[in-house]
Amino acid sequence: MTAQSTSSRAGASPGRPRLVKPKRIGNTARDEILDAAAELFTRHGYTGTSTRMIADAVGMRQASLYHYFATKNDILAALLATTVDPSLERARELMAEDRSATQRLLDLARFDVSGLAAARWNLGALYLLPEVADDRFAEFRAARTELAQIYETLACAALGNADDSRSMLPFRLVESVIMMRSDEERGDLDDHTTAGLVEVIVGAIEVLTRNGPAD
């Protein structure tokens, strides 16, 4: 997605020296900035996080951060892209494969749910930010819409009915892992874990699409 290329200024300049040794996960300073921003955005919200807070969490000067991202919007765009781009790439690959629609749908759902469940931070929660409705994030929304349409196309084929409204559900079931992660972080999943529910969600989609035509 263009969101990643426009938001990244990595390689344009090495930036100024760090205030301290690196203290975030990541192979590059850009990765460390994204890791810090992901934690702060998901804990304090987008408006409640400043670029100074992000820079401090990485251990660099605020001015150095701007060598990698021109604005806070660019950081958010890059984070949003990481949640949808890999799944969309996989979805496009699956659309070209010569296997049953059910097999491809379940493969996509497993890939997608596993990624959302295993991510270091619950970045799917950023979808709910009011700022994401702005034109600045139109490319992310377009990518997510395309992903949802591929889910629906595969589900329609699996159900054998292009008008079956259940075709809308697999994508929503996949994204339910976002709320499950929030519940898990609050301790509201009892003994369950989001990662442990991946196959439960995939199994629910399988039952849904093999349950015959809707009445």
Q: What residue type is 68 in one-letter code?
A: Y
DSSP string, 99-124: S-HHHHHHHHHHHHHHHHHHSSS-GG
Topology adopted by domain 77-209: Tetracycline Repressor; domain 2 (1.10.357)
Ordered per-residue pLDDT tens for the chain, 215 residues: 333 333 443 444 444 444 455 567 777 999 999 999 999 999 999 999 999 999 999 999 999 999 999 999 999 999 999 999 999 999 999 999 999 999 999 999 999 999 999 999 999 999 999 999 999 999 999 999 999 999 999 999 999 999 999 999 999 999 999 999 999 888 898 888 888 899 999 999 999 998 655 44
Every domain range in the chain assigned CATH 1.10.10.60: 2-72
- Using CA atoms, how far residue 191 sits from 3, 84, 152, in Å, is 38, 29, 32
Structure tokens at 21: 């040794």
Collect all residues with Cβ–Cβ distance below 8 Å to 105 and sequence separation of at least 6.
151, 154, 155, 158, 170, 205, 209
Every domain range in the chain assigned CATH 1.10.357: 77-209
C-alpha to C-alpha distance for 141 and 164, rounded to whole angstroms: 24
Quick check: 80 and 126 in contact, CB under 8 A? yes
Nearest in space to 68 (alpha carbons), one of 13, 115, 22: 13
> In which residue are the tokens 């799917």 written?
124
Superfamily of domain 2-72: Homeodomain-like (1.10.10.60)
